[in-house]
Amino acid sequence: MPGLPTTMSVRLTRLLSVALIGACLTTPAFARSKPKAHTSAPAKSSLIWRGDVATANGVVNEVAKAWEKTGHGNIELQPFNTASGIDAVASGSADLAGSARASDNSAQNANLTFTPVAWDALVIITQSSNPIRSLTLKQVHDIYYGKIHNWSEVGGRSAPIDVYAVASPGDGVEYSLRSLLFGRGNQPVAAPRLYVNTRKLEEGIALNPNGLGVSTLASISGNAKLKAIPINGKPATVANIADGSYPLFIPLYLVTNPRSPKAAQAQAFIDFMQTEPAKAALRKHAVLPYQDDGALVAMDVSRRSRILAEVGARAVKGTPVSAPGATYAARAAIAPTSPDTLAARQALEQRRADAKDTARLSKVQGSVSDVTVTGVAHANGSATTVSRTEGKDFGKVTANATQASTTYKVTKGDTLSTIAKRHSVEVTQLREWNHLKNDQIKLGQVLRIRNR
């Protein structure tokens, strides 16, 4: 399927959800028969479930069969994506939604109940023929961030990495991955190829040996055309999810509306998830019952902190997504994980401070805010870093903004290492020139950055 425009709005994605839902309902893997007459359960007990494909694959499809066998009634499955499911439950056109992410704390989500019911794993997938053996978390981060573009950079063959993503910013799988790797679920990524849901993404990657994207272990289980790339040497297996050694584990949720006329029946289905028939159905699809692994809940916060530390990121709340074509200066404020964008922000702060000194200001050349992302070939309007093969990159802009100065005033967020890198000097030189015994520096401290 051709990629959708990067500037697609959430509203357009939701309209697509409505337009394509009929096609999804006819897919053999999810098609459900019309509600049957049950002598033990009236027709009014039928429920409508809508949501992301990952939760349909891993949770609802098999459990719904067990639910019906016990005489509770029929569940009509409408798998598409997370946004469509949450919208449907909020509006009353569905009774249950499936989500591979928790509430995003939006006004709409605040009125709904998100109940975790299972553990699954996010998996970085490629075509089975791709010889890549493993990726580190840092490499995955840098691929999505637009800093790594070729498989040869991560131990594979010399070929471009074609990153695929789901267009909807509300997609649970994409949101969860970006939250883990970047500290926020709405992080822009360097993914020129966009699809309406993870099923279409999987189909695209299955046709492209250079493709890469994210799905879930349950969703690709049994698909010989795809393989899950081990992360930090750990493959995504049920055992590695259970003990937390595979780092990208996530909860899967069922979403309900307390004000729905069928709230009681929907809650009954959620309660059924804790029964042995339901748990057995979950295990058939490489997912773990949520209640059976409290250790994963306990380690979740520390696990997230370790991942962010490993990739060099930090959690960010309430930051808007940058629009394609925004200036680097504007993007610097919303891309805290990129050394280049941090350098741009610090260069701007330095220039503002230098504006008080007319002599220094007269020597400053160039402007960070004049540089735009339109020249970044690999980003396609969605990456937040700079390809160093391009003519206009942060290294050159920063050099122009600071070359003439022989001193530097330490600002918030600075370290001796970042200052050295920004001014193209060694940390040992900064220590020697400033008579420092270690790398400790203080806010407002003036450092000599040239030995003259």
CATH number of the domain encompassing residue 247: 3.40.190.290
Residue 223 token pair: 């698909």
How far apart are the C-alpha atoms of 341 and 112, rounded to whole Å?
37
Burial of 245 (0-12, 13-18, 19+ CB in 10 A): middle
5: in domain: no
CA distances from 165 to 50, 55, 340, 445 (A): 21, 17, 24, 44
312: in domain: no
Compute how many other C-beta atoms are within 10 angstroms of the C-beta atom of residue 356. 8
Tell me, yes or no, whether 213 and 67 share the same domain.
yes
Domain encompassing residue 432: 328-448
* Cβ within 8 Å of residue 295, ≥6 positions away: 243, 244
The pLDDT, as a whole number, for residue 370 is 30
Backbone angles phi, psi at 59, to 5 degrees: -125, -65
How far apart are the C-alpha atoms of 165 and 116, rounded to whole Å?
24
Contact 190, 387 (CB under 8 A): no
Tell me, yes or no, whether 277 and 136 share the same domain.
yes
Residue 226 token pair: 């795809």
Tell me, yes or no, whether 119 and 265 share the same domain.
yes
Tell me, yes or no, whether 115 and 176 share the same domain.
yes
Contact 236, 228 (CB under 8 A): yes
125: in domain: yes
- How far apart are the two ends of the chain, measured CA to CA in Å? 60
The pLDDT, as a whole number, for residue 126 is 98
Residue 124 token pair: 């970085």
How open is the CA angle 67-68-73, to the nearest 5 degrees?
Answer: 105
How far apart are the C-alpha atoms of 6 and 386, rounded to whole Å?
18
- The residue out of 285, 302, 319 marking a domain boundary is 302
Tell me, yes or no, whether 286 and 336 share the same domain.
no
* Cβ within 8 Å of residue 25, ≥6 positions away: 31, 77, 78
The answer to whether the Cα torsion of 322, 325, 326, 329 is positive or negative is positive
Residue 208 token pair: 């492209």
Strand 407-409 with 446-448, pairing: antiparallel
Burial of 140 (0-12, 13-18, 19+ CB in 10 A): buried
Tell me, yes or no, whether 240 and 146 share the same domain.
yes
How open is the CA angle 325-327-329, to the nearest 5 degrees?
Answer: 155
What is the total residue count of the chain?
A: 452
Tell me, yes or no, whether 288 and 199 share the same domain.
yes
400: in domain: yes
236: in domain: yes
310: in domain: no
Tell me, yes or no, whether 123 and 267 share the same domain.
yes
* Nearest CA-CA partner of 55 in 227, 251, 326: 251
How far apart are the C-alpha atoms of 61 and 121, rounded to whole Å?
18
Residue 51 token pair: 């949501």
How far apart are the C-alpha atoms of 322 and 190, rounded to whole Å?
13
Tell me, yes or no, whether 216 and 344 share the same domain.
no
Tell me, yes or no, whether 375 and 250 share the same domain.
no
Tell me, yes or no, whether 332 and 391 share the same domain.
yes
181: in domain: yes
The DSSP call for residue 251 is E
- The residue out of 267, 286, 302 marking a domain boundary is 302
Tell me, yes or no, whether 283 and 411 share the same domain.
no
Residue 286 token pair: 């490489």
CATH of the domain at 369: 3.10.350.10
The pLDDT, as a whole number, for residue 266 is 95
Tell the residue number behind the tokens 């070939």, with chain if given.
377
The pLDDT, as a whole number, for residue 404 is 37
Residue 244 token pair: 């937390």
CA distances from 272 to 165, 216, 258 (A): 33, 23, 18
The pLDDT, as a whole number, for residue 271 is 94
Left (φ > 0), alpha (ψ -120 to 50) or beta: where does 260 sit? beta
314: in domain: no
Tally of domains in the chain: 2
Residue 234 token pair: 């750990």
Element housing 201 (H / E): helix 198-206
pLDDT profile of the chain (452 residues), mean per 10: 38 39 37 39 69 86 89 89 90 94 84 94 97 97 95 96 84 93 91 90 96 95 95 96 95 94 94 93 88 89 95 72 30 35 46 48 34 32 34 33 61 82 80 83 86 57
